[in-house]
């Protein structure tokens, strides 16, 4: 069985949902905010303390009155094609990219850009138009002049935007499945092509050439705390012919596995576990999402792992409720979640939700309204330095001939 980097998501199954509030989008921003809150105030006279307390109370009431706007649909594509968005990345409040595919008369990769005011279609290199069944399956950026698009199809390809235009950087003719990636700078780029037949594995670009890094697991997701502390999720083949997932860590010299103590079980004849995303916020806070399929893929349970610097804790969700695209905000994982029926691919969850998990508690949040249509959410991205986030997906309609088909890309936003 071929394995790949994306487990079943809410976006791949039907309607999806989002949270109502997102905290600072980067770990650095969150840590800075926590440091500011914990700052020590010098001792002052009693009268001054009372005045400060009064001002603080008034400020608190004002802050509670001015709540951060929740999730809402801010843009629906009107290009006249059957497009759906599958990936999004934000560089700043004035700079974001979203990508996916147009399914009218075949499948073609599609890209659009946010300039701080409007979303508009963007041109990919001409070579991308020659890729069959192409779609933008992943986006990553470290700055406005280092944006990468990961394009699935035959062949798979990666392209880079240098601030002025897009250029294809490499193709993988043997790749037959979805690819994703990450970047931490122009000389630090990752491509995740999965493990198994017809896959390209994990590749790294150092600014001059692409190479296969030496890792105990074939990685398909990575998160960085520093140049000497990076975390990844991946898989390795087992002697029984299946796969075993796990976590690995870069210490500045080499990659080594991080034991998960049986919390990520290896495959068996009737059970399979796939990891979804990893978020390394600090040495004492690393999050991992995943899903275990049982009963010969007739049922599933999603889960969240958290590393506190000493050990892992696992929260397991309800049966047949999936976790899809996720972000980390305010010290918690917020992910698209919905009920699924693996034996009935036409089923659409009538009441999807966004769940937030932290400190051993699961909180269910609301869904942006989308009356009369099926809304699918495929990707989420926090906006650096803000309490806002983007999400992308598409409207779908049921065709008795073709099944569920996209009718238009949709972009949502939380916060200002």
For range 209-224, the mean pLDDT: 97
For range 336-361, the mean pLDDT: 75
For range 52-56, the mean pLDDT: 40
- Residue 57 placed within a domain: no
Given a cut of 70, whether residue 52 has pLDDT beyond it is: no
For range 297-326, the mean pLDDT: 92
The rounded percent of the chain whose pLDDT value lies above 70 is: 76
pTM: 0.82
User: Where are any strands of DSSP class E within 187-295?
Assistant: 188-192, 202-205, 210-211, 218-226, 229-237, 243-250, 255-258, 272-282, 285-294
Across the beta sheet with 285-294, the strand order is: 272-282, 285-294, 299-307, 312-319
- Residue 384 placed within a domain: no
- Residue 75 placed within a domain: no
- Residue 113 placed within a domain: no
Of 178 and 161, more confident: 161
CATH classification of the domain holding 292: 2.130.10
156 bridge partner residues: 172
- Residue 115 placed within a domain: no
- Residue 83 placed within a domain: no
Measured distance CA(288)–CA(303) in Å, rounded:
8
For range 238-253, the mean pLDDT: 93
Query: Are 146 and 183 contacting, i.e. CB atoms less than 8 angstroms apart?
Result: yes
- Residue 335 placed within a domain: yes
- Residue 30 placed within a domain: yes
Query: Are 53 and 44 contacting, i.e. CB atoms less than 8 angstroms apart?
Result: no
Q: What is the pLDDT of residue 352?
A: 58
**Which of 157, 175, 174 shows the shortest CA–CA distance to 166?**
157
Quote the domain boundaries for residue 231: 10-34+135-374
The gap from C-alpha 38 to its chain's centroid, in whole angstroms, comes to 30
Total domains in the fold of the chain: 1
């Amino acid at each position: 069985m071929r394995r790949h980097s994306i487990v079943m998501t809410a976006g791949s199954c039907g309607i999806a949902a989002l949270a109502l509030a997102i905290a600072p989008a980067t770990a650095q921003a969150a840590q800075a905010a926590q440091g500011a809150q914990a700052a020590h105030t010098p001792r002052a006279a009693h009268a001054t303390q009372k005045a400060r307390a009064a001002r603080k109370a008034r400020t608190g009431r004002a802050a509670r009155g001015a709540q951060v706007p929740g999730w809402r649909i801010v843009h629906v594509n009107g290009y006249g094609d059957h497009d759906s968005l599958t990936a999004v990345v934000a560089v700043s409040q004035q700079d974001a990219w979203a990508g996916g595919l147009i399914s009218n008369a075949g499948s073609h990769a599609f890209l659009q850009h946010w300039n701080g005011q409007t979303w508009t279609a963007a041109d990919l290199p001409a070579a991308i138009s020659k890729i069959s069944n192409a779609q933008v399956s992943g986006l990553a950026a470290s700055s406005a002049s280092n944006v990468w698009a990961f394009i699935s199809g035959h062949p798979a390809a990666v392209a880079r935007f240098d601030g002025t235009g897009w250029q294809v950087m490499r193709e993988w003719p043997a790749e037959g499945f979805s690819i994703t990636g990450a970047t931490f700078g122009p000389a630090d780029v990752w491509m995740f092509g999965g493990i198994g037949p017809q896959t390209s594995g994990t590749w790294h670009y150092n600014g001059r050439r692409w190479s296969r890094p030496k890792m105990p697991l074939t990685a398909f997701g990575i998160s960085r705390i520093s140049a000497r502390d990076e975390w990844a999720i991946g898989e390795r083949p087992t002697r029984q012919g299946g796969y075993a997932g796990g976590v690995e860590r870069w210490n500045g010299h080499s990659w080594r596995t991080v034991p998960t103590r049986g919390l990520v079980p290896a495959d068996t004849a009737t059970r399979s576990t796939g990891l979804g995303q990893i978020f390394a916020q600090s040495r004492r806070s690393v999050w991992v999402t995943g899903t275990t399929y049982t009963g010969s893929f007739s049922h599933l349970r999603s889960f969240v792992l958290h590393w506190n610097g000493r050990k892992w804790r696992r929260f397991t969700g309800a049966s047949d409720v999936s976790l899809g695209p996720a972000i980390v905000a305010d010290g918690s994982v917020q992910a698209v979640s919905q009920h699924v029926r693996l034996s009935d691919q036409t089923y659409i969850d009538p009441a999807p939700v966004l769940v937030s998990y932290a400190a051993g508690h699961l909180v269910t949040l609301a869904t942006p309204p989308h009356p009369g249509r099926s809304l699918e959410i495929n990707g989420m991205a926090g906006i650096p330095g803000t309490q806002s986030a983007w999400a992308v997906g598409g409207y779908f309609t049921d065709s008795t001939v073709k099944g569920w088909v996209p009718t238009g890309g949709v972009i949502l936003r939380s916060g200002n």
